[in-house]
Amino acid sequence: MSSNTQSLTQSTLAQASLSSIDFVEYQGLARILHHCLIRYPEADFIQGLKECDVAGSWPEFGGREQNRTGRQLLGDFLEQWSTDVEAAEFEKAVITLKLDYGQLFFGPGEPTAVPHGSVYLCEEQLINDRTTVELMDFYRAHGVELQLDYKQPMDHIGLFFAVLDQTFGRLQTETDNQALLRFTQVLLQQHLLPWAFRCCELAVEHARTDFYRGIALLTSDFLAQLQQDFQIVALDKRLYR
């Protein structure tokens, strides 16, 4: 098969797969995961997830076990979440959730599920290492800009979902944009999927609340669905944790 024919075939297959995607829904999921992973949780945000029945409305996708368990854990957590309790009890619940986020993704000390790609992909296990620079160059070449609340490494898993939020928003009306499709495939294949499943695995292992255990499972499942939808195989890179 010639390279041109192969390229055309891959494009046709990709278009057939993408035609079944509800990019409005995908954008909403990416936005939720961005907010869950990028910063410490706030009570109003958790309450909003409950009122919107996020767990109940989360798509089942291919019916994978991590999807079922993730929706169950998140749903159980949100069902028990209530503002109609004594102030001291509610404050304790919020602090417990914040402490869980901190030990997983922020600190103090080394997080148990470091959210930065370079820590997994580079032997020195440092943030802002070589792969972070490669990602920044990739974004610069494609005109990607993000408004950050504070300066942080661009390969934070939560920021990837901010970029996917923007991308899915465009794909709602630009489903035949081959350049945008290719950008998404490369972003996933080369920069996110090689390490993100490991980050989610560590988050599931070390989470102390059903909220973050559920979110980690749903994140991993969503990434698996994107891998299937965009018909890509993640680059096989050595992971250092």
Q: What is the CATH number of the domain that holds 32?
A: 1.10.3480.10
Could you tell me the pLDDT band of residue 15, with boundaries at 50, 70 and 90? low
pLDDT at 13 over 60: no
Confidence of residue 8 (pLDDT cuts 50, 70, 90): very low
Choice among 6-10, 114-118, 190-194 with the minimum mean pLDDT: 6-10
Does 60 score more than 50 pLDDT? yes
Q: What pLDDT, on a 0 to 100 scale, did the predictor assign at position 1?
A: 39
Residue 141 lies in a domain: yes
Please give the mean pLDDT across all residues of the chain: 93
Domain total for the chain? 1
Residue 237 lies in a domain: no
Question: Is the four-CA dihedral 161, 25, 214, 239 of positive or negative sign?
Answer: negative
Report CA-CA distances (Å) from 201 to 103, 179, 241: 15, 32, 11
How high is the pLDDT of residue 14?
Answer: 56
Residue range(s) defining the domain that contains residue 105: 3-229
DSSP state of 174: -
* Structure confidence by residue, pLDDT tens digits, 79-131: 999 988 899 999 999 999 999 999 999 999 999 999 999 999 999 999 999 99
SS3 82: coil
- Tell whether 241 is covered by a domain: no
Average pLDDT over every residue of 181-196? 97
Structure confidence at residue 177 (pLDDT): 93
Average pLDDT for 197-205: 98
**Is the residue at 234 inside a domain?**
no
Mean pLDDT along residues 166-190? 95
The pLDDT of residue 16 is 56
Q: Are 202 and 190 in contact (CB under 8 A)?
A: no
Which pLDDT belongs to residue 20?
85
Report H helices in the chain.
Answer: 3-18, 23-38, 43-51, 54-57, 65-80, 87-101, 117-121, 130-141, 157-171, 178-186, 193-206, 210-229
239: in domain: no
Give tens-digit pLDDT for 210-223: 999 999 999 999 99
CA distance 157 to 136: 14
**Tokens standing for residue 76:** 């159980």
- The verdict on residue 103 lying in a domain is yes
This model's pTM is above 0.75: yes
**Is pLDDT at 9 greater than 90 in this prediction?**
no
